[in-house]
Structure 1
Amino acid sequence: MHGGSYIERPVRRPISTIGSDYINKVLNEDPMHFRQIYRMYPEAFLKLCNILKEKTPLRDTRYICVEEMLATFLLTVGQNNRYCVTRKTFGRAYSTASRNFNKILKALNTIASTMMVKPGVAVPSKIRESTRFYPYFKDCVGAIDGTHVPAIVYGRDVSSYRNRHGIISQNVLAACTFDLGFIYILSGWEGSAHDSKLLNDALTRRNELKVPRGEKFFVDCGFPNRRQFLAPFRGVRYHLQDFGGEGRHLENARELFNLRQASLRIVVERLFGIFKLRFAIFKSAPPFPFKTQAKLVLACAGLHNFLNKECRSDEFPIEPDDEYLSQPSLLTETEDEVDILQTQEEQRENANEWRNNIAQEMWRHALNEDNRD
């Protein structure tokens, strides 16, 4: 009251409790249904919430808890739901749903590097327990490959994001273990970029891919053969489906090497298949600015590793990536691989000789076993 007049204060809009009531309810209902919707069991969900609170600045607000923010994010990436769906589920405004999503995205990107798997010092069991692979591949810790994720890009850069299938995409490079965990991931490259360029970038950037001394990764025909990156022989069969059955009718050491190398390297293709099944948002172009699309890949890679550890009972069919299936059966040089520095060429000559020695030793042992049979 001032000067005989009354100033009416604005009435605060009542805050909805639908979201908090909903998440508290579903956390205490059927855990299998919760896992189908949110890609994890309630116990893992609450554990992830605690990790976000402990390791990032993310906190409950006056009206919205971290649990609701995370549920909003998981509905979006796991079910490919739009904000119009999540806002209805949680009784929030469109802007609030967007804000909650981006808070979780930022928090997950903050800790994503700590969620990457570190290769073990021991020989991977998949190699150690098989005479087909041991001792030839005893120093190999995983596989590296690229995959394409549909993208939305505007402006004059659109053409550079168009991949060889004519689809606008970002090219994503990943290194993984034989236990289906991401060791490293690099997103945001144009769909037209060659995989070898992504690998060179990954090895030279500030947060680079670190290859432990003496250890190696399997790579495919999109990469040059190096001491740390073991590629198949060119000009002979390579894909598993090219060999048929158990790989009968192998003609020489190079074919045997390629068969066994591909049998291990396919783990990265299976990982991409699982990744896109878990996070349906990557089956189509995410409706966000491109920088956000790139950050989503890193955030979901960290989430995948968390789920790979906490939800080991999850089962996924082996679903090789489309890019893998579309590769030619016979390997040939590409223009990008010919255009390399002389020092790299010298390294490749040494690596090729080393690879050939492995193949010859493998072939001799295989022939001796056949003769004994």
Structure 2
Amino acid sequence: MSAAFRGRKHYTSQNVLAAVDFDMRFTYVLAGWEGSAHDASILADSLSRPDGLQIPDGKFYLGDAGYACRPGILPPFRKTRYHLNEFSAKHRPLNARELFNLRHSSLRVTIERAFAALKNRFKVLDQKPFHTFDTQVKLVLACCILHNWILGWGEDEFFEEVVTFDEVETGHGVEAGDNDAWKVKRQEWADAMWEARGNTTIEK
């Protein structure tokens, strides 16, 4: 069992699925999966639960490159520039897919900042665990609840600018099987952005 919970940091850990809104509040958290679990498996578990992640019709979450393009989940284009630090005033997007990925990354950085603030405030989340596993799961949920509560009282001193590195971690893999209809939607949105790109501004 411990082997399954051994994540990329080489000690036992859990893989946590979380959704964050643009105010950096956690709106859904599923903790307790083994550290080596595939992200797609955790998402499938969440969507199958009566009290799991709810995605209203016509809406979607921005996901990282490890997820398939599917109803309710919109990842970036793979094998295309994505990281914010790969773009600048001198290195603008060259096509529709690069522009889509730039805007996707600019929005998805919110969750990176939320997790960075969470770990900066609650150091126990980023250390080698010593509690029982049940307690570890409860700690994650409790810290996310406290994080949201603190945000209700004003600006968070632990927020910082974060540069994303959206690489799929070894052991988490890439979910196979993009949904054809959603691949078409994503390309249509990318093309529309490209056609209207005159207002795009890239800061150094």
Structure 1 length-normalised TM: 0.49
**TM superposition shift of 1:167:** 3.3
Partners of 2:39 and 2:90 lie apart in 1 by 28
Q: Which residue of 1 aligns with 2:15?
A: 171
Instruction: Spell out the pairing of 1:191-210 with structure 2 (5 A cutoff).
Output: 191-210=35-54
1:350 to 172, 181, 201: 181
Q: What runs of 5+ residues in structure 2 fail to find an aligned partner? A: none
1:173 aligned counterpart, secondary structure: strand
1:308 aligns with 2:139: no
Partners of 2:106 and 2:166 lie apart in 1 by 17
Determine what percentage of the aligned residue pairs are the same residue: 41
Indicate how the Cα distance of structure 1 residues 308 and 169 shifts in structure 2: closer, same or farther if over 3 A, else same: same
Partners of 1:171 and 1:273 lie apart in 2 by 16
Q: Which residue of 2 aligns with 1:337?
A: 175
Q: Which has the higher contact order (CA 8 A, sep 6+)?
A: 2
Encode CA deviations 1:276-301: one digit per residue, 9 max, x unaligned.
11112112134211011011111111
Instruction: Name whichever structure is richer in helix by fraction.
Output: 1
Instruction: Spell out the pairing of 1:131-146 with structure 2 (5 A cutoff).
Output: none
Q: Which residue of 2 aligns with 1:362?
A: 193
Number of residue pairs matched by the alignment? 197
Q: What runs of 5+ residues in structure 1 fail to find an aligned partner? A: 1-156, 329-333
Partners of 2:90 and 2:68 lie apart in 1 by 25
**TM superposition shift of 1:195:** 1.1
Partners of 1:290 and 1:181 lie apart in 2 by 25
RMSD after superposition: 2.2
Q: Which residue of 2 aligns with 1:296?
A: 139
Partners of 2:124 and 2:114 lie apart in 1 by 16
Partners of 2:42 and 2:90 lie apart in 1 by 32
Instruction: Spell out the pairing of 1:1-373 with structure 2 (5 A cutoff).
Output: 157-243=1-87, 245-246=88-89, 248-310=91-153, 312-318=154-160, 320=162, 325=165, 327=167, 337-338=175-176, 348-366=179-197
Partners of 2:134 and 2:166 lie apart in 1 by 28
Indicate how the Cα distance of structure 1 residues 327 and 266 shifts in structure 2: closer, same or farther if over 3 A, else same: same
**TM superposition shift of 1:246:** 4.6
Partners of 2:100 and 2:127 lie apart in 1 by 36
Bigger radius of gyration among the two: 1
